[in-house]
Structure 1
Amino acid sequence: MPEFINDDTFGSYFETFQHTAWRLETRRGYNSDRAGEKYRQFMETGTVPNDLHRPWCANVTAQTAQGKRIERVRIMDRPPTSEQLFLLASAASNSEAGEDIRNLWRPDAEKLRLPAVDFWLFDSRRALVLHFDSADEYLGAELVDDPVRIVGFCQIRDAAWHYATPREEFVAQVASTV
């Protein structure tokens, strides 16, 4: 059974990392997104507001201004789910703040044998594995600092990052299939 960190400390990992924070997102959707006003607006209009003022974007801007990197790869279905299209649209603000977001089609991720696990990897030394239930409800984050597991996460990162497509190019790919 994983031991979850205290959720009150979750945000501190994004302020105290030294070089890189890297994320793999594998789910087809997240309950927290579906429950939000921004998602409702997206479903009605197909657009999301620029929300660079959010605390996440402010922190990304502050961290990347110090030369740190915040990166993620999102696994996308073909065709993308509504939730994945929402995340693709929402990522514009994150990218503008300095986060490098890339996407990988799910069949390509399966060829690479990437696991269906969401995690953040910090400085190639520790990870937060994010746990969800079958309804995509966030259950908590497990801190991992075991060197063997960290090497595995680094290998996943390297494979996913190598084959992932930068967000703007991926947006064009998605648009050409709709």
Structure 2
Amino acid sequence: MPDLVPFDDIAHLFEHFEHTAWRLETQSGYASDRSGAKWQRWKAGENIGRYEPEQPWHAGVRAQTDAGKRFERVRLVDDPPSEGQRFLLASGLGNVEAGEDIRNMYRSDAQRIGLPDYDFWLFDSQIVVRFVFGDDGATLGVHVAEDAETVVRACQVRDAAWHYATPTTEFQQRVRPTV
């Protein structure tokens, strides 16, 4: 496994990819979400599912998708969804409005088709950035790989997940009573 590097060391990839940035999200919650102001707004009952052009992630996604690039992700969701997953479902519509194509699938379906239990980004079907999390859900760093075996496996995971996942708006309608 490649060396663990800080996430900030790969941040440039979100601006310099050529055509596609794709992510698999497998965690039931993320420390970065729980420590953010948006989490507090959500806990207070605010609608956090709107596009916010001044928000850095939304601005970056919009800039890249306006340039013809794709941001896509598949999120695994427990049944019933965890608190962290309910937050992501609530906030996801803002990301979709910014230009990101987010799809969801139940964890049991992901296990049935053999998806891995780790998070990663796949850039241009060439670079895999695999996350390492602490017990509290905090990102400890990432492993960056460009070897053929790792990249091909990530592409296979992407293709299978994308095939079986459901677009966010449709998925939310299925789970709305718990979101």
TM-score by length of 1: 0.94
Q: Aligned residue for 1:63?
A: 64
Q: Which residue of 2 aligns with 1:88?
A: 89
| Paired position in structure 2 for 1:169 | 170
Distance 1:31 1:125, change over 3 A: same
Other structure's SS at 2:71 match: strand
Indicate the residue corresponding to 2:10 in structure 1.
10
Instruction: Give the structure 1 partner of residue 159 of structure 2.
Output: 158
Letter in 2 for 1:149: T
Equivalent residue number for residue 20 of structure 1: 20
Matched residues, number: 178
The alignment yields a C-alpha RMSD, in angstroms, of 1.6
Change (3 A) 1:8 1:110: closer
Partner SS state of residue 75, structure 2:
strand
Inter-CA distance 175–159: structure 2 relative to 1 (3 Å threshold): same
> What letter corresponds to residue 123 of structure 1 in structure 2?
D
Provide the C-alpha distance between the structure 2 equivalents of 1:116 and 1:106, rounded to a whole number of angstroms.
9
d(CA) in 1 for partners of 2:121, 2:113 = 19
Counterpart CA distance in 2 for 1:30 and 1:6 is 16
1:35-82 per-position Cα deviation (integer Å, ceiling 9, x unaligned): 222112212216326333211111111111111111000000001011
**Does the Cα contact within 8 Å between 1:52 and 1:93 map onto a contact in 2?**
no
In the alignment, what sits opposite 1:33? 33
Q: Which amino acid aligns with 1:21?
A: A
1:56 partner letter: W
Q: Which runs of 5+ in 2 are unaligned?
A: none
Q: Measure, in 2, the Cα distance between the counterparts of 1:33 and 1:144.
A: 26
Cα offset for 1:7? 3.6
Distance 1:141 1:86 in 2: 23
CA contact (8 A) 2:48 2:94 kept: no
Quick one: which amino acid aligns to residue 132 of structure 2?
A: H
Distance across 2 between alignment mates of 1:164 and 1:154:
15
**Structure 2 partner of 1:134:** 135
Partner AA of 2:28 in structure 1: R
TM-score (norm 2): 0.93
Asked if 1:113 corresponds to 2:114, the answer is: yes
Amino acid at match of 2:166: T
Asked if the contact 1:70/1:98 (under 8 Å) is kept, the reply is yes
Q: Residues of 2 paired with 1:154 and 1:40: CA distance?
A: 36
Is the alpha carbon distance of 1:77 and 1:120 closer, same or farther for their aligned partners in structure 2, counting shifts above 3 Å? same
Q: 1:123 corresponds to which residue?
A: 124
* Runs (5+) with no aligned partner, structure 1: none
Identity of aligned residues (%): 49
SS of residue matched to 2:60: helix
Q: Give 1:30's aligned amino acid.
A: Y
Distance 1:25 1:49, change over 3 A: closer
